[in-house]
Amino acid sequence: MNFFPPAYAQGFGGGGDGITAFLPFVLIFVVFYFLLIRPQQKRAKQHREMVQQLRRGDRVVTAGGIVGKVSKAPEDGEVEVEIAENVRVKVVRETITQVVTKSAPPGGAPPPAANEDGKSGGLLGGLFKR
């Protein structure tokens, strides 16, 4: 005596099962790209540009939390930072995390403030531009 009828494997929606099964992975990748990968690449590009534009007289913060003033900024990978009167240290350019104050360019007007361009910041401000 058999209480349960035999179960037979049934199709999941006809033809195109491979595309239907692959679609969630594509959607997950798109979400990861726009929420994680793209903003990370933008921040890396901004940091690279900031480090390349370092100039003598800029006040900077290093990755170790040391605040100082750039005394020499040659084109190689190191920058000389004055952290106290007559105390200078060499740091690798990429370890500079923030430029606190930009020095005025030679013979020009001072650079604009950080948020003077009118763009809103925040978590979603970079994703949804006007």
**What pTM, to 2 d.p., does this model score?**
0.61
CB distance 119 to 125 below 8 Å: yes
The domain over range 17-101 is classified in CATH as 2.60.40: no
Long-range contacts of 2-6 (CB under 8 A, 24+ apart): none
- Ranges of each domain in the chain: 17-101
Rounded CA-CA distance 130/128 in Å is 7
pLDDT tens digits, 17-60: 778 888 999 999 999 999 999 999 999 999 999 999 999 999 99
